[in-house]
Amino acid sequence: MPDNMMFLIKFDPKTGERLSTIPYDNDITPEKAEAMLADGYELVPYEDWNLLIGNVDGKEYVKDIVHGSGYIEKPQKVPTLQEAQEVKIAELKNIRNAKEVAPLNNFDVDERSITRLQIAQKVLAQSGGTVDWTMADNTVKAIAAEDISAVFIALAIRSTELHAQYRGLKASVMAATTNEEINTIEWTEG
C-alpha cells in the first residue's frame, strides 16, 4: 500500500477499539466519505493504521479516548468475575479428570484399561488363577481377580475424594467476589 493511503475508521467511543476500517480508495466517493465522517468515521493515515493493527511494533493500539486524539497500547482484557470463575472451574475440572485416570497402584486406569480390567476380572472370577498383566511402569505381574477388585475399590475411593475436593474448590470459586481471589484458589495435593 502506498504511504499516502488513507483509511476511514470508526472507533468504539467507550474502548477506542476499531469497529470498522475501510480503505479510502477509488471505491469511496467524496460524498460517501463525507457521509461516513458524519456517521462517526475518522480519516486515518496509513502510518497510524499500521500502528493500530500492530505492524509497527507487534502491539495493537486503540484510540486514546481519554485525551480524544492519539493512540495508546490496547489494554489487556480483564475478564469479568463470571468469566474468571468459568475458566478456573474448567481448570479445576481438568485437573480432577487427569488425576482420575492417573495410574493407581501401578495399574493404568484410563477408559481402555478399565474395560480390559473388567473383562479380565470376569474371566479370572470364573476360572480362578492369575494372568500376566502389563503394569503402568511396563513391568509384568501375575494378577488375580482379587487384585483387580482391590484396584476398583481404590479407584472408587480416589474418585470420591477427587470429586469432593473439586466440589469444595468449585464452591470457593463461586463464592469469590474478585478475580484476584479466584487466582489464589489452587488444587493442592492432600
Where along the chain do its domains lie? 6-73, 81-183
pTM for this one?
Answer: 0.66
Rounded Cα gap, residues 171 and 182, in angstroms: 11
C-alpha cell at 114: 478399565
The span from the CA of 34 to the CA of 13, in Å, is 20
User: Which residues of the chain are modeled with pLDDT < 50?
Assistant: none
pLDDT of residue 67: 86
pLDDT at 1: 55
State residue 177's pLDDT score.
96
pLDDT at 78: 85
Helix (H) or strand (E) holding 151: helix 145-175
